[in-house]
Structure 1
Amino acid sequence: MNAQRLTGLIAATYTPLGADGQLRLQQVPQMVEHLLGSGVSGLYVCGSTGEGMSLTSEERRKTAEAYVHATDGRVPVIIQVGHNSVAEARQLAAHAQEIGADAVSATCPSYFKIQTAELLVDCMREIAGGAPDLPFYYYHIPALTGSAIDILRFMTLGAQQIPNLFGLKYTDTKLHEFQQCLQLENQRFDVVWGCDEMLLGALASGSTGAIGSTYNIAAPLYLQIIEAFEAGDWVEARALQNQAIEMINAIGTFPFHSAMKAILGMLGYDFGTCRLPQRALSADETIRLRQLLEKVGFFEGIVTR
Structure 2
Amino acid sequence: MTTQKLSGLIAATYTPLDDQGHLNLSMIGPMVEHLFRVGIDGVYVCGSTGEGMSLSSEERRTVAEAYVQEIDKRVPVIIQVGHNSSREARQLAAHAQQIGADVISATCPSYYGINELSDLIDCMAEIAAGAPDLPFYYYHIPALTGSRIDVVEFLKRGCEEIPNLVGLKYTDTKLHEFQMCMETDQQRFDVVWGCDEMLLGALATGAQAAIGSTYNVAAPLYRRIIDAMNAGDQVEARRLQLCSITMVRVMSKYPFHTAMKAVLGMLGLPMGPCRPPQGRLALAEVEQLRAELTQIGFFDWCGTKTLESVPHTAET
Fold shared by both chains (TM-score > 0.5): yes
Correspondence for 2:19? 19
Correspondence for 2:44? 44
Runs (5+) with no aligned partner, structure 1:
none
Task: Tell me how far apart the structure 2 counterparts of residues 29 and 300 of structure 1 sit (CA, whole Å).
Answer: 25
- Aligned with 2:271: secondary structure? coil
Please tell me the residue identity of whatever aligns with 2:82. Answer: G
| 1:214 matches 2:214 | yes
Task: Tell me how far apart the structure 1 counterparts of residues 301 and 93 of structure 2 sit (CA, whole Å).
Answer: 40
Please tell me the residue identity of whatever aligns with 2:206. Answer: G
Correspondence for 1:241? 241
1:49 Cα shift?
0.1
- Aligned with 2:14: secondary structure? coil
Runs of 4+ in 1 over 4 A off after TM superposition: none
1:303 Cα shift?
3.2
Correspondence for 1:102? 102
TM-score when normalising by structure 1: 0.99
- Aligned with 1:211: secondary structure? strand
TM-score when normalising by structure 2: 0.95
Correspondence for 2:161? 161
Correspondence for 2:116? 116
1:159 Cα shift?
1.2
Correspondence for 1:66? 66
Q: How many residues align?
A: 305
Deviation string, structure 1 residues 69-109 (Cα, Å, up to 9, x no partner): 00000000000000000000000000000000000000000
1:302 Cα shift?
2.9
| 1:229 matches 2:229 | yes
Correspondence for 1:301? 301
| 1:145 matches 2:145 | yes
Correspondence for 2:175? 175
Cα 1:7–1:177 change in 2 (3 A) is same
Task: Tell me how far apart the structure 2 counterparts of residues 182 and 107 of structure 1 sit (CA, whole Å).
Answer: 19
- Aligned with 1:152: secondary structure? helix
Task: Tell me how far apart the structure 2 counterparts of residues 223 and 118 of structure 1 sit (CA, whole Å).
Answer: 39
Kept after mapping to 2: 8 A contact 1:192/1:211:
yes
Structural RMSD (CA): 0.9
| Percent identity (aligned) | 65
Kept after mapping to 1: 8 A contact 2:267/2:304:
no
Cα 1:16–1:304 change in 2 (3 A) is closer
- Aligned with 1:287: secondary structure? helix
1:193 Cα shift?
0.1
Correspondence for 2:309? none
- Aligned with 1:183: secondary structure? helix
Task: Tell me how far apart the structure 2 counterparts of residues 74 and 117 of structure 1 sit (CA, whole Å).
Answer: 37
Kept after mapping to 1: 8 A contact 2:220/2:301:
no
Kept after mapping to 2: 8 A contact 1:116/1:150:
no
Deviation string, structure 1 residues 178-204 (Cα, Å, up to 9, x no partner): 000000000000000000000000000
1:304 Cα shift?
4.5
Task: Tell me how far apart the structure 1 counterparts of residues 116 and 198 of structure 2 sit (CA, whole Å).
Answer: 28
Kept after mapping to 2: 8 A contact 1:16/1:27:
yes
1:2 Cα shift?
1.7
